[in-house]
Amino acid sequence: MSDFVSYKFYEVAEFISEKINLKEIELKQYISTDNMLPNLGGVSVIDKLPTTARCNSFRKNDILFSNIRTYFKKVWLADFNGGCSADVLVMRSKDETVLLTQYLYLIVCSDDFINFTIATSKGAKMPRGDKSAILGYELSIPSIEKQQKAVDIYLTFNQKIQLNNETNKTLENIAQAIFKSWFIDFDPVKAKANALAQGLDATTANRHAMQAISGKTETELKELEQTNPKAFTELKTTAELFPSEIGGNGVPVGWGIKSLDEIANYQNGLALQKYRPEKGDNDFLPVVKIKQLKQGYADGEEKASADIKPECIIDNGDVIFSWSGSLVVDFWCGGKAALNQHLFKVTSNDYPKWYYYLYTCHHLDEFIRIANDKAVTMGHIKREHLSQAKCVVPSKEWFEQSHYIGYLLDKLVSNRLENNKLAQVRDTLLPKLLGGDYDTMSS
């Protein structure tokens, strides 16, 4: 590292304290410690803006660092301009000819920097990083050319992770839209029924259902039949699965109605004290509580004995539903873990995963309303609310032949698991990149 030069943080970098009026930014442009994701996971959209008139501002390519409980590693390289809370530090290079802000981002993401902020934090209950101590942190910086090379390698992983995240948002939105069209609005069924009511034959009625499912015109359907006969046949088969009439109970003829807890089993975990491992026991599982579900990985903050009953153990791809506090439904992709009592592991022997996942999502707003009405500190729902939540159920044959929504959500889970591997490789490479090993990608 003979070509590295040592600087104090304050010599080459600075904290930015410029202000902006909150009226000048949109909800998606505001960053707080709450919507910064742990473990270098980026940011999400906050629920609402604060009531203050002004806040700190940041610009694209600035580094945002959550200064509360810095061990959560909430660090983000901004890809848009916006505003942030006071507990989010905004960092920037003083001189890009000496230190690239993006290279500073690599340093701030490093375990060495994070551990330094932990060691120098102030406060016991909610420790905050000490800005004065950070200003004295020592940086080792190579030439701009070598900085850029390290940045290019590191950000390649971030870009792939971001692309997968964006793809997953699209997959989720498509799955939700199709589910609503098929199981809430019954668009394909209504399209068939309207066509038959106009005196059209069953074949033409099915073409109308194909249009409702695909959003294509009749002309576009003909073009699809010529250019992609396989896709056309799959679309035709899917349309044929739908009935052609809405019954007196308001659902498609031949379909039934069941409660949410009839289509799936909602198994909650156990209280921690019931399955805490013995002292010195190295055979344990990390415990997943609401916090771990939201952050997407088990941090080992609490541990459970590995021999707990299987129904309280979760693994990649399982559907998890937080029924108290912050009500969340999600696919778990954080590996084998033990489930806390405030979470449900959702399974079914009779229906596919995508079906009970999306129906749980569909009822989530109502569950949140019920939880918010509870006159307790942590609002929640009861099992009776699962029984009151109704689902429209197609025939068994329908599920056997319709797999498209399942494919979308399986791809979503696959992308998340790929991101976990990419993040692991990225984090493993970081010390090597900061140490000047730029050939590490080929090793």
Chain segment 203-248, per-residue pLDDT in tens = 999 999 999 999 999 999 999 999 999 999 999 999 999 999 999 9
Q: What integer pLDDT is reported at residue 223 of this predicted model?
A: 95
Q: How confident is the model at residue 258 (pLDDT cuts 50, 70, 90)?
A: very high
pLDDT tens digit sequence for 128-155: 999 999 999 999 999 999 999 999 999 9
Q: What are phi and psi of 49, to 5 degrees?
A: -80, 150
Q: How confident is the model at residue 387 (pLDDT cuts 50, 70, 90)?
A: very high
Find the mean pLDDT for residues 388-410: 93
Mean pLDDT score of the chain: 92
Cα gap 79→296, rounded to integer Å: 22
Q: What integer pLDDT is reported at residue 438 of this predicted model?
A: 77
Q: Which two tokens stand for residue 319?
A: 């559907």
83 and 57 in contact (C-beta within 8 Å)? yes
Task: Decide if pLDDT at 2 tops 70.
Answer: no
Per residue, the 3-state secondary structure of 384-430, as one string, reads HHHHHCEEEECCHHHHHHCCHHHHHHHHHHHHHHHHHHHHHHHHHHH
pLDDT tens digit sequence for 325-367: 788 999 999 999 999 888 999 999 999 999 999 999 999 999 9
Q: What integer pLDDT is reported at residue 280 of this predicted model?
A: 62
Q: What CA–CA distances, in Å, run from 287 to 70, 74, 294?
A: 21, 21, 13
Cα gap 206→196, rounded to integer Å: 10
Q: Which two tokens stand for residue 238?
A: 């899917």
Which residue, among 172, 156, 167, 113, has the nearest Cα to 422 in the 3D structure? Answer: 156
Find the mean pLDDT for residues 248-254: 94
Find the mean pLDDT for residues 240-263: 95
Percent of the chain with pLDDT over 90: 74
Cα gap 389→374, rounded to integer Å: 18
Q: How confident is the model at residue 283 (pLDDT cuts 50, 70, 90)?
A: confident
Task: Decide if pLDDT at 110 tops 70.
Answer: yes
pLDDT tens digit sequence for 267-278: 988 776 566 776
Q: What integer pLDDT is reported at residue 344 of this predicted model?
A: 94
Q: In 36-138, which ranges are continuous DSSP H helix? A: 101-109, 111-119, 131-135
Q: What residues are paired with 37 via a beta bridge?
A: 42
408 and 331 in contact (C-beta within 8 Å)? no
Q: What integer pLDDT is reported at residue 413 of this predicted model?
A: 97
Percent of the chain with pLDDT over 70: 95
Q: How confident is the model at residue 37 (pLDDT cuts 50, 70, 90)?
A: confident
Q: What integer pLDDT is reported at residue 442 of this predicted model?
A: 47
In single-letter form, the type of residue at position 290 comes to I
Task: Decide if pLDDT at 443 tops 60.
Answer: no
